[in-house]
Amino acid sequence: DAMVIQNPRYQVTQFGKPVTLSCSQTLNHNVMYWYQQKSSQAPKLLFHYYDKDFNNEADTPDNFQSRRPNTSFCFLDIRSPGLGDAAMYLCATSRATPSYYYEQYFGPGTRLTVT
């Protein structure tokens, strides 16, 4: 089945220690998104890639970076995690043309704990 895969499902890191979360997809979608979801809140978009073009949300902290080495993979790097960065991180993908975006499909998420 075509899907969005996130690894690991649970990640524990120490305060200030860089961490990388991974997302891969078999849907061959050209757009990939990263969301942060804190407890009992709606997901918040951090950034997205349209093909290789990176689009950052205005309020995303500089501590969050992303890489997309190819169509299938996208990484979320947190350079110096703080306690406030503990959250569920969701990856999503969608197909898009220059004039239309289709619905987004989400991965299962990575639960990040910062100690």
Partner 1 sequence: AQSVTQLDSHVSVSEGTPVLLRCNYSSSYSPSLFWYVQHPNKGLQLLLKYTSAATLVKGINGFEAEFKKSETSFHLTKPSAHMSDAAEYFCVVRGGGATNKLIFGTGTLLAVQP
Q: Point out which residues bind partner 1 (CB under 8 A).
A: 4, 6, 31, 40-43, 45, 48, 55, 88, 90, 92, 94, 96, 101, 103-109, 111
Nearer to partner 1, 51 or 79 (CB): 51
Q: How far is the CB of 102 from partner 1 (least distance, A)?
A: 8
Q: Which of 107, 29, 35, 37 is nearest to 76 (CA)?
A: 35
Tell me, rounded to whole angstroms, the distance of Cα 7 from its chain centroid: 11
Nearer to partner 1, 4 or 76 (CB): 4
Three-state secondary-structure class, residue 84: helix
